[in-house]
Structure 1
Amino acid sequence: MSGPLSSLKILDFSTLLPGPFASLLLADMGAEVLRVESPTRMDLVRVLPPHDGGTSTSHAYLNRNKRSIALDLKRPEAVEVVKQLVSEYDILLEQFRPGVMDKLGLGYEALKAINPRLIYVSITGYGQSGPYRDRAGHDINYLALAGIASYTGRRDSGPLPLGVQLADLAGGSLHGVIGLLAAVVQRQVSGVGQQVDVSMTDCAFSLHGMAGAGYLGGGVEPGMENQALNGGSFYDYYRTRDGRWFSVGSLEPQFMQQFCAAIGRPELAARGLSQKPEDQRALKREIEIEFEKRDFAQWCEVFAGLDACAEPMLPLSEAVRHPQIRARELVVEVPREGLPAQAQLACPLKFSEGLPPPRHVGVAVGAHTEQVLAELGYDAERIAALRAARALG
């Protein structure tokens, strides 16, 4: 199995999370991904705890199936190597602030002149234009400015810092992959590439979905606990007697009827249809009282055979062992040189033709430098000259 993207060759200049997660998905689907890394400025994910076998587990996961070449892009000799690579790797992914690649002589216009088919994907916090284009930011900042945080939380405690990086992953990573593949499809028709400008703030803003439509079209400002899906209705989490939690999403009447019968309160089903905030608050309190009467395991037994949209909230240690997660093979064993295979999150996409098995975890900086240069036609003498010029790691 070679994977559906085996025809793609990607130069990956990104670090941390958004770009590497995007290129991980591409590599898992068969694309050849070559990380271009600095020999002097380490990707900080490499030192992020916890560690397994002396290597960051995050780095080992995010960079599996990728090769690495160490180039000091401040050296003109290293820039020339990249320009040679662009002739073969006709997709480039970068995550620098706007203008940085231009200063290095590796901006889109410069590289497009070498290879007009080049697809150049730029992932940034705020995009290539606008007053914030040069501003620093993190996931929490993008969600705050995009308005997402304004109705994600509780009235009494305020906005909720999410446990996953929503803007980084759903914004930068997934939208980056979508934009890249869309540009590939267009190139198949037009024969030319283009630059794809991915702003994590833009993408977070697009995630407003129904709330955004409701405000722009209907003038309804979303707020904390004033919508059905953000705590304004019985659609919520409920604490069990032993301090664990259950999720209840029984919005449709058929699910609500099953749910209310299961908790021993069938008369509550009709109240679930009310749109009045006071009715929803009263209903939530009734459900809270019922959940507090039994332990988590007992509620698991109650809902195990029901189609009521009520599921236990699992910690990750239990989620990885859940029968559904196991059946979908969402944990995979990835080979490591000289060490036992490492368990990692698997590619979530399923193809009838299958995907290639994982080849290796993330590698050391520049692990494939000489191999890649040899593929470009460099002999030992030219490689030694690059090292002497301190262009390589």
Structure 2
Amino acid sequence: MQGPLASLKVLDFSTLLPGPFASLLLADMGAQVLRIESPARPDLLRELPPHDRDVSASHAWLNRNKRSLALDLKQAEAVAVIHRLVREHDIVLEQFRPGVMDRLGLGYEALKAINPGLIYVSISGYGQTGPYRDRAGHDINYLALSGLASYTGRREGGPLPLAMQVADVAGGSLHGVIGLLAAVIARQQTGLGQYVDVSMTDCAFSLNAMAGAGFLACGVTPAPEAQMLNGGSFYDYYRSREGRWFSVGSLEPGFMGQLCEALKRPELAASGLSSKPEEQQALKQALQVEFEQRDFAELCSLFAALDACVEPVLSLGEAVGHPQLQARQVVAQVPRGDGSTQAQMACPLKFSGGLPAPRHIGARLGEHGDEVLRELGYSLEQIDQLRTAGVIG
């Protein structure tokens, strides 16, 4: 199996999470991804704990199925290598601050002149325009400026530092892949590539979804624990007797009826439809009392056979062992290169035509340098000269 993107060849200049997660999805779907890395300033993700056999587990997952070429892009000979690569690649993915690639002679206009069909995707915190284009930032900053953090969390406790990187993944990675593939489709019609500017803050702003629509059209300002889906209604988490948690999303009357029947409190069902905040809070308190009277195992058994939109909050270990996730094969065994394998999160997309089996975990820095340069026509002597000059690592 080659995968649906087997025809695409990607030069990936990105580091850390947003760009590499985007190129991981592409590689899992069959694209040929070549990472261009600095020999002197390795991707910090390579050092991120925990480590498995001296390799960062995060790096091993995020960069599987990709080759690595270490180039000092500040040297003219390295830029010449990129120019040769661009002739036969479809896509450039980069994550530097605006202007960096231009200063290296590797900006869109320079590379477009070599390959007019090139699709060039830039992922950055704030985008290529605007007063914040050169400003540093991290996921928590993008969520703060996009408005998302203002109504996430508890009224008394304030915003919560989320455990996953929403702006990085849902913003930079997923929107980046969407934009990239849209440009591929457009190229099929015109033969021309184009530049795709992805701002993680812009993308995070779009994730305001229903709250954003309500504010822009009707002036309704969302606040913590004030909307139906952020703790302002019974749609929330509830503790069991020993302190484990359950999610309750029984919004529709049929689901609410099953929930209340299971808890032997059928009279509570009518309150689920109320739009009055005081009635919603009273319902939440009543549900919490019922949950706290029961053990986690009892509640799991109680709701397992019901279609009530009530599910336990599982640890990662419990999630991996859950029959639904096991049936979906969300864990893949990826070759390390020594005959053994490493358990990793699998590609979440399922295709009737299948996907190629994982080929290898994240490569060592510059692992495929000689191989790539030989494919470009460099002789062994030329490769040695480039290595001696510090052009390649």
Pairwise TM-score range, normalised by the shorter structure: over 0.9
Gaps of 5+ in 1: none
Quick check: 174-183 or 339-348, which moved more? 339-348
- 1:388, CA displacement in angstroms? 2.5
**Number of the residue aligned with 2:281:** 281
Helix, strand or coil: the match of 1:359?
A: coil
Any residues of structure 2 matched to 1:1-393 within 5 Å, and which?
1-338=1-338, 340-393=340-393
Cα deviations by residue, 1:294-335 (Å, 9 ceiling, x for unpaired): 111110000000000000000111001100000000001000
Cα deviations by residue, 1:1-21 (Å, 9 ceiling, x for unpaired): 000000000000000000000
CA distance in 2, matches of 1:233, 1:133: 39
Cα deviations by residue, 1:359-385 (Å, 9 ceiling, x for unpaired): 000010100000000000001111122
One-letter code aligned to 1:350: K
CA distance in 2, matches of 1:52, 1:216: 48
CA distance in 1, matches of 2:367, 2:215: 51
Helix, strand or coil: the match of 2:358?
A: coil
Helix, strand or coil: the match of 2:34?
A: strand
CA distance in 2, matches of 1:12, 1:369: 14
Which segments of structure 1 move beyond 4 Å, counting only runs of 4 or more?
A: none
CA distance in 1, matches of 2:163, 2:56: 19
Helix, strand or coil: the match of 2:264?
A: coil
- 1:389, CA displacement in angstroms? 2.2
One-letter code aligned to 1:349: L
Gaps of 5+ in 2: none
CA distance in 1, matches of 2:245, 2:270: 24
Residue identity over aligned pairs, in percent, reads: 72
8 Å CA contact 1:53, 1:339 repeated in 2? no
One-letter code aligned to 2:192: V
TM-score between both structures, scaled by the size of structure 1: 0.99
One-letter code aligned to 2:315: P
CA distance in 2, matches of 1:261, 1:218: 37
Helix, strand or coil: the match of 2:105?
A: coil
CA distance in 2, matches of 1:89, 1:264: 63
Give the RMSD, CA atoms, in angstroms.
0.6
CA distance in 2, matches of 1:336, 1:159: 40
CA distance in 2, matches of 1:316, 1:229: 24
- 1:31, CA displacement in angstroms? 0.2
